[in-house]
Structure 1
Amino acid sequence: MQLTDLKGIGPAAVDKLKQLNIESVLDLLFHLPMRYEDKTKLTPISHAQSLQPVLIQGEITKSYVIQGKRTILVCEVADDSGFIQLKFFNFYYSQKIKMQTGKRILAFGEVNHGMHGLEMIHPEFWLAEDIPPLTDRLTAIYPKTEGLPQKRIQNAVAQVLGHLQTGLINLPELLPKDWLEQATLPDLQTALHDVHQPSPDVDMARLLSGRHASQKRLKIEEMVSHFLALQALRQKRQQHQAPVLTLSAAQKQNFLDLLPFTLTDAQLRVLHDISTDLCQAVPMQRLIQGDVGSGKTAVAAGAIFHALINGKQAVLMAPTSILAEQHRLTLAEFFPDNEMAFLSGRLKSAERREQLARIADQAQVIIGTHALFQEDVVYRNLALVIIDEQHRFGVHQRLSMKNKGADKDLLPHTLIMTATPIPRTLAQVAYANLDVSVIDELPPNRQMVNTVLLDNKKMPQLADRIQAACKRGEQAYWVCTLVEESEHLRAKAAEDTYEELQDWFPNLKIGLVHGRLKDDEKTAVMADFKAAKIQLLVATTVIEVGVDVPNATLMVIENAERLGLSQLHQLRGRVGRGERQSHCVLMYQAPLSQNAQIRLSTMRDTNDGFKIAKTDLKLRGPGEILGTRQKGAMQFRLVNLETDKDLLDQAQKLAQLMQKTHPENCQAIIHRWQRQAATLAKV
């Protein structure tokens, strides 16, 4: 059955439904309500409570138009118990004519207390002979798009439910029946009817909170499909061959001797995980989580060492040129005798040609930005791809990078690093196709960064603190933020602040870095800052990741209320990288919204990245934290990872059970829920 077989759904409506990701009649069944309206009973007008939606019926006692700044149609309605005004700010002349005194009217809407008693603003209404009978089920309200009325979606869903009941549409049960009985959850058909057309005696609180048994049953099936999809593609990828990168015990010790510091136990544990993976003939797929300053780059260097010893190429891809340059400088210290290449989008043509030739010929370690996966980049024998802050790259960018090493039927090993702490709930779902290692220990002698909140008006107090820090030989960052997503505006704001701070601190050496500077200019400024030739660095959020200046002990973030928790935590991580006590000042513009208050107080109260990420998950949701609001990304139709996290373990175990006992249903359940599963799991 096609969508156009449904009454009221023509080609134009089909195009609108596609905007809601509805491409088949079965998709309509899984387009679930966002809320419900109770039109099963009438409420006497005098019993209507403020801010509660109710269905009332009465007689029109008066109908008139009020002229003023806004023209308002007022319809006064009475029943045996009381009186209410229905108000319409947008109305048609024909509507005014129809609302005649003495006519019966049925109206549904939220009740408010107005100047003249109870009122409804823009209620849904029916007049006289058009008044429908009361429904015996709650009315589902669906997500919709412009040009597709709610009524049309409701009618289409009702038709499909009817066809499901009569058997005209077949929707097989894919979850094991004995498991459903044991979990006291309904079968699929019952669950869909309960969710689309719940009975009026349903536990409304549970339904609205998404905790009804039928909703749980559908959410678990969606989670199961997600785990099965990722596992299927993990298995598919492991069928490929990868270069075997072995390392002897003596060679491992040689690497440790290269380092100018001693690795923490956590770093050694993660390095062991990586080493074990690289010795296998199947592609490594490992995620390294480590809070800011935990030493992920040193661990990445250990992986690169494997490739070098085996005569292979390794690539490290970073989201910004500043971070890529930081990695280049750090790795040059670890591997001074190895050929390196550097590629970013801002290289001049001659420089780019030179670097491309090095990559194709002698370079062993290649570092750069998104430029590394462009078509004209040819690798000689790429065996390892390291992606830093992977969520900041698009899906297709990450796939292109992996495909670069697919010569000779060998896929490169892949190591993903992130300093964005990911709560277990999120990691369990987003990275179920990866092995995960966590660097859960900071290097010794690191002190927690002291964070304070400061109103913008108290700038003089801050000036004294900056002067004192620089007088002690320490350095400071001043980060400018803007609401607008324009690099030009960000740069202009930073330049204005730079000039202003030069007036405030005529005796300090102040530098400026922003996204519109050329790469070599940014590199020069950052090199001067690292060499302590600059005392105060004015910057945009381009310094968010990767900049490592141990002598910097003070971070000032102006208008901090404009940034998300993850970004604030990353920026704060630029200080506290040495042994001295460091400070972060979050300047804000009062008054603060409730969310901004939560973000800033969270930053003040904890340095723990995982606690911060947990709060961030509650405030922003998984999509934004993982950077997954892009094509091919992880999206759930029903599941809310924060409120439904208690179902994850149950769903994960069920997915494993189905692989063993019902393998024939696994692909069908993936197809039912995961249109973009293949793209998702590959990245």
Structure 2
Amino acid sequence: MPEVSSSPAKPKSAPQKAMEKLGLVRDIDLALHLPLRYEDETRLTPILQAHEGQVVQCEGLVIECRIELRGRRQLLVRIEDETGAELLLRFIHFYPSHQKTMAVGNRIRVRGELRAGFFGREMVHPTFKAVGDDTPLASALTPVYPSSASLPQAYLRKAVAAGLRRAPLEETLPAGIVPAGLPSLREALDFLHHPPPEAQLATLEDHSHPAWQRLKFEELLAQQISQLQAQRERARLQAPALVGRRGGLHEQLLAALPFGLTGAQQRVGEEIAQDLARPQPMHRLLQGDVGAGKTVVAALAAAVAIDAGWQCALMAPTEILAEQHFRKLLGWLEPLGLKVAWLTGSVKGKVRQKMIDAAADGSAQLVIGTHAVIEDKVKFAKLGLAIIDEQHRFGVAQRLALRKKLASMALEPHMLMMSATPIPRTLAMTYFADLDVSTIDELPPGRTPIVTKVFADGRRDNVIDRIRDEVETRSAQVYWVCPLIEESEALDLKNAIETHAELSAALPGRSVGLLHGRMKPAEKAAVMAEFSAGRMSVLVATTVIEVGVDVPNASLMVIEHAERFGLSQLHQLRGRVGRGAVASVCVLIYTGPLSQTGKDRLKAMAETNDGFEIARRDLDIRGPGEFMGSRQSGAELLRFADLQEDAPLLQAARKLAPMLLDRHAAAARRHVERWLGTKAEFLKA
């Protein structure tokens, strides 16, 4: 029996830990870790020919090396090149090894920005190295990689070069698939890591070079193949065919509603009903602007499922939103004889067990709640339809868990995902290529447009005066939203509490409520009930009111420190007003100076109420990875491609994906594995 070593594993160095943190574990990870920019160390510039403000590389003999103690302690080194011109090198931070390398008589090569100093030309903290008379220059541009403080560029360059040599970069794609004029993957990566001196830096920096195009095409193709695989795998699964009875719940609910459906609601309702009638699982995204009436469409879908003898579950990301759905659906469905169960974190003890039992024995035909719906203890007798509201706020694991609630019957539930953040077309083609998308592109009649005004913080008193006017003369109701300060929940709470006190003092005799994340669910519900009933004039809240809150009489929304909010979040908050016939106003108060991104957001809000235009601008500002939220569960699926600029490559990838899967299945599988690995699983949720 071989002897087992008991010696502990060698501890990892700081650079090794930093590399793991950056996700640089496999050789392919290193090969795909591309430079941010390049430095030109392929040529020397005589000191006399260098211009101020230029980044240049010079070489010369050290003629002076001394430490100066006047003012800050500094290392001053003077070099002279063959023309007799001198250059001063100034180091504020230095080590004894620096003095050794740059001792008088040594030849050194330095690179940095040339400045005009008091004692002539100088460089501050240039890069340097000792050289001999015949030390060759670099043969390619020097890459500068994304890194961290504990990961020196020299270490990273060596690691990447080694990974690039070892990485399996053989061609996975059959001949004729890659667009003409693009290099092989190996050639593309070799070029991008070590471009020749004559390379056009502009085409490298704007990612238009053919080497970049090859990487983008490969990445987009892998993503499209993965989406198509997920779609085909789902088509092979079985789901219950849900068809409502003539004169059944669906028709009864339509007849009982106190309003008529818009044309858009009718259209998407029919799309959903057709999906539910098929024996394959529906996987549909229902998107529509704030206030477009998605909830009633979801209720009609639930009625079809329940009428067919199956249960429905509706999951929302917050308790306030779940409760809004609960109240609406209860009001619509309970008079029709349906039993609705309510499951959230705040439902405890015997009441909770009663709800769980009702879901398990099938007596609760509809279960509404938060993440509590997907807990292991919660079982369904016959889950036929799962509805997820604000789907982008749930992680992949949570969506998969809801799907598996019917797995014991070898059937999948139908999935309807709802989003009030419309998905721009380019994003839908890429990240949601496996989904069917229904869009409610029409608002219910009677909604008044919301006027959005942007004010600097200095006009806060004027805003409070306007609130006093609105409350006193028109009995208006007002939201005042304080930002969520992620770094400090205590600061966030303090801000909300101080604002509440300020507005209470400014509005004597009027009820001013406070709503924040630290309150107990029962307290939140009580405050919301007062505001909804019209007994409260002003509600000071953190972003817990972002979605789902529906108070038609509320006509003024004030958002403080608006520059701290994302564009889609600002639009969601604004959507809490303008829900009745009263003209509504949204006031955005910002604290300057604003970044360019902040200016772009506030400008977009002032210019349009259209959620689809807001979404398009949000995508431009933030990019797809951040816009998508948890579809990727924090892992970006596209690192190199740009959805707007690379639309032709995306179209080519969409066209080729089915052909590759049909005719070259093994090659398609290898290609997806190389580019996505386990990330491909994210697309199945």
TM-score (norm 2): 0.92
Question: After the TM superposition, which residues 184-263 of structure 1 pair with which residues of structure 2 at under 5 Å, given as runs?
Answer: 184-248=181-245, 250-251=247-248, 252-263=250-261
Measured in 1, the distance between the counterparts of 2:145 and 2:390 equals: 36
Q: CA RMSD in A?
A: 2.5
1:166 aligns with none
Q: Kindly indicate whether residue 358 of structure 2 is the aligned counterpart of residue 350 of structure 1.
A: no
Matched position secondary structure for 1:108: strand
Cα gap change, 1:193/1:419 in structure 2, threshold over 3 Å: closer, same or farther? same
State the AA in 2 paired with 1:217: R
Match of 1:94 in 2: 97
Provide the C-alpha distance between the structure 2 equivalents of 1:37 and 1:628, rounded to a whole number of angstroms: 37
- Mark the CA change 1:629 to 1:226 in structure 2 (over 3 Å): closer, same or farther: closer
Report what 1:492 is aligned to.
494
Taking a change above 3 Å as real, the CA distance of residues 216 and 264 of structure 1, as seen in their structure-2 partners, is: same
How far does the alpha carbon of each residue in 1:575-611 deviate from its partner, in whole angstroms, 9 at most, with x for none? 1111221100011112222221221122111112222
| Cα distance change of structure 1 residues 555 and 71 upon mapping to structure 2, 3 Å threshold | same
Aligned partners of 2:213 and 2:366: how far apart in 1? 49
Offset at residue 384 of structure 1 (A): 1.0
Q: Which amino acid aligns with 1:360?
A: A
1:680 matched to which residue of 2? 682
Deviations 1:253-280 (A, max 9, x none): 4332232212122111111111111111
| Gap change, CA 1:43 and 1:545, over 3 Å in 2 | same
Partner of 1:613: 615
Secondary structure (helix, strand or coil) at the match of 1:676 reads helix
Residue pair 2:340, 2:367 contacting (<8 A) in 1 also: yes
Please tell me the residue identity of whatever aligns with 2:130: L
Superposed, which structure 2 residues align to 1:344-423 within 5 Å? Answer: 344-361=344-361, 362-423=363-424
Match of 1:462 in 2: 463
Can you list the C-alpha shifts for 1:518-542, whole angstroms capped at 9, x where unaligned? Answer: 1122112112211111111111110
Provide closer, same or farther for how the CA distance between residues 504 and 383 of structure 1 changes in structure 2, counting only shifts above 3 A. same
2:136 aligns with 133
Partner of 1:446: 447
Whether contact under 8 Å (1:230, 1:677) holds in the other structure is: no
For residue 560 of structure 1, report the CA deviation from its aligned partner: 1.0
Q: Which residue of structure 1 aligns with residue 153 of structure 2?
A: 150
**Would the alpha carbon gap of residues 174 and 456 (structure 1) be closer, same or farther in structure 2, given more than 3 Å must change?**
same
Query: Secondary structure of the residue that 1:656 maps to in structure 2?
Result: helix
Shift of 1:629: 8.9
* Structure 1 residue 326: Cα displacement: 0.4
2:117 counterpart of 1:120: no
In 1, Cα distance between equivalents of 2:586 and 2:569:
13
Q: Which letter does structure 2 place at the counterpart of 1:277?
A: D
Of 656-665 and 112-121, deviating more is 112-121
CA–CA distance in structure 1, aligned partners of residues 646 and 27 of structure 2: 27
For 1:45 and 1:610, locate their aligned partners in 2 and report how far apart those are by CA, in whole Å.
56
Q: Which string of whole-angstrom CA distances, capped at 9 and with x for unpartnered residues, describes residues 375-401 of structure 1?
A: 111112111111111121222222212
Distance in 2 between residues matched to 1:50 and 1:417, nearest whole Å: 58
Counterpart-to-counterpart distance in 2, 1:449 and 1:24: 52
AA of the residue aligned to 2:242: L
Amino acid corresponding to residue 398 of structure 1 in structure 2: R
What is the SS of the residue equivalent to 1:638?
Answer: coil
CA displacement, residues 273-327 of structure 1 (integer Å, 9 cap, x when unaligned)? 1111111111111111111111111111121111111121111111111000000
How far apart, in 1, do the equivalents of 2:80 and 2:442 lie? 70
SS at the partner of 2:677?
Answer: coil
Aligned counterparts of 2:148 and 2:543: Cα–Cα separation in 1? 35
* 2:6 corresponds to: none
Alpha-carbon distance change, 542 to 140 in structure 1, aligned in 2, over 3 angstroms: same
- CA offset digits 1:43-82 (Å, max 9, x no partner): 2334434554322222334333343664322223343385
Structure 1 residue ranges (4+ consecutive) displaced by more than 6 angstroms after TM superposition = none
Deviates more, 1:571-580 or 1:464-473: 464-473
Cα distance in 1, alignment partners of residues 118 and 425 from structure 2: 52
Distance 1:67 1:642 in 2: 55
Tell me the secondary structure at the aligned position of residue 406 of structure 2: coil
Q: Which moved more, 1:216-225 or 1:476-485?
A: 476-485
- C-alpha distance in structure 2 between counterparts of 1:613 and 1:119, whole Å: 50
Deviates further, 419-428 or 115-124? 115-124
Measure the CA separation in 2 of the matches of 1:130 and 1:306.
84
Q: Structure 1 residue 104 and structure 2 residue 107: aligned? A: yes
Equivalent runs, 1:239-318 vs 2, <5 Å:
239-248=236-245, 250-251=247-248, 252-318=250-316
Task: Tell me whether 548-557 or 400-409 shows the greater mean CA deviation.
Answer: 400-409
| 2: CA distance, partners of 1:283 / 1:330 | 27
For 2:542, the equivalent position in structure 1 comes to 540
Match of 1:6 in 2: none
Mapped partners of 2:133, 2:613: distance in 1:
56
Q: Structure 2 counterpart of 1:356, which letter? A: I
Q: Structure 1 residues 104, 619: CA separation in 2 closer, same or farther (over 3 Å shift)? A: same
SS in 1 for 2:312: strand
Separation of aligned partners in 2, 1:70 and 1:357: 75
> Match for residue 47 of structure 2?
45
The 1:64/1:425 distance shift into structure 2, 3 A limit, reads: farther
For 1:667 and 1:100, locate their aligned partners in 2 and report how far apart those are by CA, in whole Å.
58
Deviates more, 1:573-582 or 1:488-497: 488-497
CA distance in structure 1 between the aligned counterparts of 2:410 and 2:465, rounded to whole angstroms: 62
For structure 1, the residue ranges without an aligned partner over 5 or more in a row are 1-8, 164-168
Amino acid at match of 1:462: V
- 8 A Cα contact 1:44 1:81, kept in partner: no
* Structure 2 CA distance for partners of 1:98 and 1:34, relative to 1, 3 Å: closer
Q: Secondary structure at the match of 1:627?
A: helix
Deviation track 1:321-364 (CA, whole Å, cap 9, x = no partner) reads 10000000111122123111111112233332232222223111
SS at match of 1:211: coil
CA contact (8 A) 1:549 1:574 kept: yes
Q: Distance in 2 between matches of 1:110 and 1:474?
A: 62
Is 1:244–1:278's contact at 8 Å kept on the other side of the alignment? yes
Quickly say closer, same or farther: Cα 1:127–1:322, change in 2 above 3 A: same
Q: From the superposition, tell whether residues 433 and 49 of structure 1 become closer, same or farther in structure 2 (CA, over 3 Å).
A: farther
Q: What CA distance in whole angstroms lies between the structure 2 residues aligned with 1:632 and 1:675?
A: 15
1:438-474 CA-partner distances (Å, limit 9, x unpaired): 1111112322211111122222321232123222132
Task: Tell me the alpha carbon deviations over residues 618-656 of structure 1, each in whole angstroms, 9 at most, x when there is no partner.
Answer: 332222222239756343332344544453222222223
Question: What's the counterpart of residue 512 of structure 2?
Answer: 510
Superposition pairs of residues 644-663 of structure 1, within 5 angstroms: 644-663=646-665
